[in-house]
Amino acid sequence: MEKIRNFCIIAHIDHGKSTLADRLLDFTGSVTEREKQDQLLDNMDLERERGITIKSHAIQMDYMHNGEKYVLNLIDTPGHVDFSYEVSRSIAACEGALLVVDAAQSIQAQTISNLYLALENDLEIIPVLNKVDLPSANPEEVTDDIVDLLGCKPEEVIPASAKTGIGIQEILTAIIDRIPPPKGNRDESLQALVFDSVYNPFRGVETYFRVVNGEITKGQKIKFVATGRSYEADEIGTLKLTQHPKQKISTGDVGYLITGIKDAREVKVGDTITDSANPTKNPIGGFEDVKPMVFAGIYPVDTEDFEDLRSSMEKLQLNDASLVFTPESSAALGFGFRCGFLGMLHMEIIQERLEREFDMTVITTVPNVSYHAYTTKDRETAVIVNNPSDLPDPSTVDRVEEPYIKATIITKSDFVGNVMSLCIEKRGQIVNQTYLTTERVELIFDMPLAEIVFDFYDRLKTVSKGYASFDYSPIGMRVSKLVRVDILLNAQPVDALSALVHFDNAHTIGKKMCEKLKELIPRQQFDIPIQAAIGSKIISRETIKALRKDVTAKCYGGDISRKRKLLEKQKKGKKRMRQVGNVEIPQQAFMAVLKLND
């Protein structure tokens, strides 16, 4: 145990976490030339394409230091707020963290929020000043920023370049010297923390764990505390670039477990694994059931594909337990599913996976958060509203509550005014404003989560010219004045276009929705009135004028192949359209609310 070090790398997006991980693997000889691939740890296609780490993984390195062999377990953490619970569990499995800060960008919102998570778990922090090779690097200034933030000595900050290899040796030495070895008692009953799980279509769910006390042995009867289920440990082992099966994994070490579980939902991140016959009395703290934060309807473009969509979603759920869905039906779109996601990125990922892995073309409706409505009949029991159409009749509603978050934004002092106006427009209330340095300011707001789901990231980027970073954590439900804005096309309400919005913004949003839909819905052979309404009151109206010309008209009836091409093109354009009543609505229109300010 004295020779084990468990650590993670925490950083703001793009500060070089994955590159540093690769460099450490290289330096410790944990990868052969052949296995070398850029960003080794990101092994999902989608991850590599997007250049972000979505799921956390773990990898073990052997390293000789002063003539002794050390085992270094690097536990990777996801880099996006949607997955912050997974980050917190990965951090809980470590004794130390490399805090990577880009020498040109300095400290950003995620640097701080991840640092707080690490400090809550009493991790030893090793500050790493990365990208010192960049001409735009500002090593002295950024070192000062780090010293201010951590209260450490300037010489404790390690200058490094994950790209060129500067500082890698120093980082490895610091991991061994500064991070304490794991504590724990080998003789106690097994207690292991699940910090991740991965679905493997051939072997079932692979569970990644860190043994806190006791030992896990191959063949042992084990039990997951939160789910209460017992299994046999068919295979256990350590994770190098590939899996290395072992007979036993002891206190302090990290490994994987295969039990033949076929459904990702049976393994919950944060759960405790213990011995089935002699269970521990103290499950590891901090376990939570992850709750979806954002809901949207997913419908097949072709109504006949509903059953295919169901089976695709079920398969997706086997390997992504955080996806939840229930069947729903919409007057406009027919049968589909109301799906819950961890956040907007998660939603995009699911939509993309449905298309790539299952060849499904789907229509996604406006995402919304989960509201709690209380009726005058029962002021105590919340009606959970995951879909605008679930909102009870306004005349019976006592109050509606919506989820709030604490938003942390770090920006340059020049942009404080802009960022403040944006947050206030988004119904934020300022809680705190701190100057980290003369140039850089941290702003803290309480804000409705719903406002983040709508175009917030993009707007923030624009108003700050890219010099703002943002992070958030949920702080509970608060009463709010919400109404449902319905959209009528050709005097017919289209339920899939309804949105829940704050009363004060309802008129503006209704008006903008009508304008946006006018842009997005193609002209057809007849006039299409678009109306926004609250209850029976129309608050805005636009008209899409009838189309006068036929697309093929300009072909002079002559060139048949050109005509066919045009028709083909038109057909393709139709792919993601949905016929509602007699109006064809393209996919973008269903997401129009998200793009009102474009």
Ligand X SMILES: Nc1nc2c(ncn2[C@@H]2O[C@H](COP(=O)(O)OP(=O)(O)OP(=O)(O)O)[C@@H](O)[C@H]2O)c(=O)[nH]1
Q: Which residues are annotated as a binding site for GTP?
A: 14-19, 130-133
- Candidate ranges 127-135, 207-215, 466-474, 491-499; the one touching ligand X (CB under 6 A): 127-135
- State yes or no: residue 531 binds ligand X (CB under 6 A): no
Among 13, 318, 397, 520, the residue binding ligand X under the rule CB under 6 A is 13
**Residue of this chain nearest to ligand X (CB atom):** 79
If the CB atoms of residues 18 and 370 are measured against ligand X, the closer one turns out to be 18
Per-residue H/E/C for 145-181: HHHHHHCCCHHHCEECCCCCCCCHHHHHHHHHHHCCC
Among 1, 3, 14, 446, the residue binding ligand X under the rule CB under 6 A is 14
If the CB atoms of residues 81 and 528 are measured against ligand X, the closer one turns out to be 81
Among 3, 48, 65, 163, the residue binding ligand X under the rule CB under 6 A is 163
- Candidate ranges 86-94, 157-165, 302-310, 518-526; the one touching ligand X (CB under 6 A): 157-165
If the CB atoms of residues 75 and 420 are measured against ligand X, the closer one turns out to be 75
Report, in Å, the least distance between residue 140 CB and ligand X: 17
Among 4, 5, 7, 17, the residue binding ligand X under the rule CB under 6 A is 17
Known binding residues are 14-19, 130-133
Distance from CA of residue 530 to its chain's centroid?
A: 34
CA distance 114 to 88: 8
User: Can you give the C-alpha Rg of the chain in angstroms?
Assistant: 27
Report, in Å, the least distance between residue 208 CB and ligand X: 18
Task: Compute how many residues bind ligand X; rule: CB under 6 A.
Answer: 19
If the CB atoms of residues 161 and 238 are measured against ligand X, the closer one turns out to be 161
- State yes or no: residue 161 binds ligand X (CB under 6 A): yes
Report, in Å, the least distance between residue 15 CB and ligand X: 5
Residue 517: phi and psi, rounded to 5, are -65, -35
Question: Are β-strands 492-493 and 440-448 bridged in parallel, bridged antiparallel, or unpaired?
Answer: unpaired
State the amino acid at position 151 in one-letter form: G
If the CB atoms of residues 23 and 210 are measured against ligand X, the closer one turns out to be 23
Report, in Å, the least distance between residue 83 CB and ligand X: 11
User: In b/e form, how buried is each residue of 4-39, taking b as 16+ CB within 10 angstroms?
Assistant: bbbbbbbbbbebbbbbbbbbbbebbebbeeeeeeeb
- State yes or no: residue 131 binds ligand X (CB under 6 A): yes
If the CB atoms of residues 174 and 391 are measured against ligand X, the closer one turns out to be 174
- State yes or no: residue 104 binds ligand X (CB under 6 A): no
CA distance 123 to 208: 20
CA distance 513 to 454: 13
Within 36-75, the residues that bind ligand X by CB under 6 A are: 51-53
- State yes or no: residue 204 binds ligand X (CB under 6 A): no
Report, in Å, the least distance between residue 127 CB and ligand X: 15
Among 5, 6, 19, 88, the residue binding ligand X under the rule CB under 6 A is 19
Write down the residue that tokens 């337990």 correspond to: 321
Q: Rounded to the nearest 10 degrees, what angle do helices 416-425 and 456-463 cross at?
A: 160
- Candidate ranges 63-71, 130-138, 543-551, 554-562; the one touching ligand X (CB under 6 A): 130-138
If the CB atoms of residues 133 and 308 are measured against ligand X, the closer one turns out to be 133
- State yes or no: residue 26 binds ligand X (CB under 6 A): no
Q: How many other CB atoms are there within 10 angstroms of residue 454's CB atom?
A: 22
If the CB atoms of residues 345 and 489 are measured against ligand X, the closer one turns out to be 345
- State yes or no: residue 115 binds ligand X (CB under 6 A): no
Among 8, 10, 11, 158, the residue binding ligand X under the rule CB under 6 A is 11
Report, in Å, the least distance between residue 85 CB and ligand X: 17
Of 535, 536, 537, 486, which is closest to residue 514 (Cα–Cα)?
486
- State yes or no: residue 16 binds ligand X (CB under 6 A): yes
**Tokens standing for 118?**
């690490």
Question: Are β-strands 68-75 and 58-65 bridged in parallel, bridged antiparallel, or unpaired?
Answer: antiparallel
Of 72, 69, 94, which is closest to residue 196 (Cα–Cα)?
94
Report, in Å, the least distance between residue 343 CB and ligand X: 15
**Tokens standing for 236?**
């256990």
State the amino acid at position 140 in one-letter form: E
Q: What is the dihedral of CA 453, 458, 464, 467, to 10 degrees?
A: 90
From the number of C-beta atoms within 10 Å of its C-beta (0-12, 13-18, 19+), residue 381 rates as exposed
Interacting residue ranges for ligand X, rule: CB under 6 A: 11, 13-19, 51-53, 79, 130-131, 133-134, 161-163
